[in-house]
A and B are shown apart, each in its own frame.
Chain A
Amino acid sequence: MQSHADVAKLGLANFWIAFITFALAALLGLYQVLERSGMIPQLESVELYFGSVSSHGVIMGFVLTTFFIMGFGYWSAGTSLKMPVWNKRLAWFGFFLTLLGTAMAAVMLFTGQASVLYTFYPPLKASPIFYIGAALLVVGSWVWVLEMIMMMHKWKQANPGQPVPLIMFGTTANAILWFFTSLGVASEDLFQLIPWSLGWIETIDVGLARTLFSWTLHAIVYFWLIPAYLAMYTLLPRLAGGKLFSDEMARISFIMLLVFSVPIGFHHLYVDPMQADGWKFLHMIGTFMVAVPTLFTGFTVIASMEVAGRMRGGKGLFGWIKTINWDDPLVLAGGLSLLMLTVGGWGGLVNASYSMDVMVHNTQWITGHFHLIFAGTSVIMYFALAYHIWPKMTGRPLVSKSLAKAQLWLWFIGMLVLTLPWHVMGLLGQPRRISVAPYGNEVAKSWIPYEMAMVVGGVILTVSALMLIVILFGTHLRRATLEDREMAYAEPVEPVLRLPALLNGFGFWAAVITVYLIASYGYPILQFFLMDTHGTFPWSI
């Protein structure tokens, strides 16, 4: 149990930072929908709005996610491998380094010195402390990457020929994915943004910065999603009352996500002039390839639920759906998450279609899409994972299962009420990243009913977010003790006794990603050093 105690402390520390900052960002979200709607003129402030949007985006996209995923990773590694953290001091050092970076960035965000949105595209410029904080956050998270790789390596050494537990396999895939994908933003931050913000260089190559950020910008979505998929593969089938349909299919999906999701970021640059059409087309093909492991995941998870429903007596083509154990918050969240993935995935196909993207590019459609995929599909599973794991980490039972399920339903309803009108507003021409829309013409007037719906959605989501915090605090403060603190993972229908090396390790796949990355990003980055820069040094130094 010592290994459990260590990972519980590390996990809880990470989870607390994740969810406290989340609550703060949720309140900012409420302010933003109210300000953007124009309902309360006293709230209107361009400076405050963009400071808030930047803080909301950075906290949700980088802080909530990184800390939650690190905490979940340590917990999953310790409980599935049944071994202590590889290097406990280093793990805590990584945690505090990430926290220090977060604090530095947060101070700059909250004092209006980093209103550069979560994409921090130049020529928007923040304080150097913000960029240094962002760099520390990323470097701190690399410590976690190293810990995950080493724990898997040590376990394989101690258990030669044995299949790595699926949750650890997926967690390590995510750690490797995060390392590869964060190299883009880390390079932009270290070699462009920090020197530029410190005044060491006078100008900055915006095209290169956007290209490097695109390297990170898509695979980061899978970094956020993989913990949700892991919960669906390794916890949900058992909690639903059944077994995992296929362990091997899950491993293939994680490998495909790892390989395909990193080198495809140019679909964020479809209308940028600095990259050629051919490269964008190739990245579009790669983008559609990622739909394959997503479909594999959808199939395997739904089939696992069908197995569960049938093991609980469900009959007929769809009769198994009602016999699934929906009473469990994680199973409920899994169902709601898949529904949001369906709608969000459809929006993603539209965005990814090279020609059609111009119809929705930089409109509120995009905001609707990524909120459905990130805040909907991924984050609702983070909540449910917290409800499942928190009691086992603290030894105190969940304060109220009913309240937890109500919170999940409210999040689902609020997310749809918020984001579906955003999709419509995008098609009606409303730009994203605007604070107010006081144009007064006919087009702007057509947005008004949808803006009202957006406010309702924002209020529902805020209530849900605050409920989450109440439930977690309530659980933490309980005096009752939980008897069963062991984590039980789903068993596959067909037990996995042996696996080919390619489905039990990442050495070969890391080499494949490296080659794929060089092929897809090599020349598009190199061109910035080769092109005529009109008398200045290349790379705008």
Chain B
Amino acid sequence: MPELTSEQERQAIAEAPKGTWAILIVYALFMSAAWAYMFFGLFLSHGPVN
């Protein structure tokens, strides 16, 4: 693990959490797509219960 200077550490802390936003956007897309698959792909396509 590289040693950071105090200035580098301050910059690291101050940086916006871009990676976190990217993960959460991917997560939200995945959740929406998976929910839509369940609703439209499995639930509605199943039709009425006989």
| A residues adjacent to B (C-beta < 8 A) | 242-243, 245, 295, 298-299, 302-303, 306-307, 309-313, 316-318, 320-321, 323, 342, 345-346, 349-350, 353, 355-356, 359, 427, 493
- Asked if B13 and A306 make an inter-chain contact with CB atoms under 8 angstroms apart, the answer reads no
- Asked if A312 and B1 make an inter-chain contact with CB atoms under 8 angstroms apart, the answer reads yes
In the assembled complex, which residues on chain A have CB atoms less than 8 Å from the CB atom of B15?
A: 310
Partner of B19, one of A243, A298, A306, A342: A306
- Asked if B2 and A313 make an inter-chain contact with CB atoms under 8 angstroms apart, the answer reads yes
Given A318-B22, A346-B30, A353-B35; 11 other pairs, CB 8 A cutoff? A245-B17, A303-B20, A309-B19, A310-B15, A312-B1, A317-B18, A318-B19, A323-B1, A349-B31, A359-B42, A493-B13
A321–B15 Cα distance when bound, in Å, is 15
The residue among A310, A317, A321 with the most chain B CB atoms within 10 A of its own CB is: A310
- Asked if A346 and B1 make an inter-chain contact with CB atoms under 8 angstroms apart, the answer reads no
**B24 close to A (CB within 8 Å):** yes
- Asked if A353 and B17 make an inter-chain contact with CB atoms under 8 angstroms apart, the answer reads no
In the assembled complex, which residues on chain B have CB atoms less than 8 Å from the CB atom of A243?
A: 13
Question: With A307-B17, A311-B12, A346-B31 known to touch, is A355 a contact of B24 (CB < 8 Å)?
Answer: no
The residue among B9, B12, B27 with the most chain A CB atoms within 10 A of its own CB is: B12
- Asked if A359 and B20 make an inter-chain contact with CB atoms under 8 angstroms apart, the answer reads no
Partner of A311, one of B9, B20, B30, B43: B9
> What's the least CB distance linking A351 to chain B, in Å?
10
- Asked if A427 and B42 make an inter-chain contact with CB atoms under 8 angstroms apart, the answer reads yes
Q: Which residue of B lies closest to A245 (CB)?
A: B17
In the assembled complex, which residues on chain A have CB atoms less than 8 Å from the CB atom of B2?
A: 313
- Asked if B43 and A313 make an inter-chain contact with CB atoms under 8 angstroms apart, the answer reads no
Partner of B39, one of A303, A312, A356: A356
In the assembled complex, which residues on chain A have CB atoms less than 8 Å from the CB atom of B1?
A: 312-313, 323
The 5 tightest CB contacts between A and B, nearest first, are A310-B12, A303-B17, A313-B2, A303-B20, A302-B20
The residue among A245, A316, A346 with the most chain B CB atoms within 10 A of its own CB is: A346
Q: Which residue of A lies closest to B2 (CB)?
A: A313
Partner of A355, one of B12, B19, B27, B43: B43
A346–B35 Cα distance when bound, in Å, is 7
> What's the least CB distance linking A328 to chain B, in Å?
13
In the assembled complex, which residues on chain A have CB atoms less than 8 Å from the CB atom of B9?
A: 311
> What's the least CB distance linking B33 to chain A, in Å?
10
A-B contact pairs, 21 of them (CB 8 A): A242-B13, A298-B24, A302-B19, A302-B20, A302-B23, A302-B24, A303-B17, A306-B19, A306-B20, A310-B15, A311-B9, A311-B13, A312-B1, A317-B18, A318-B19, A318-B22, A320-B19, A321-B19, A323-B1, A342-B27, A359-B46
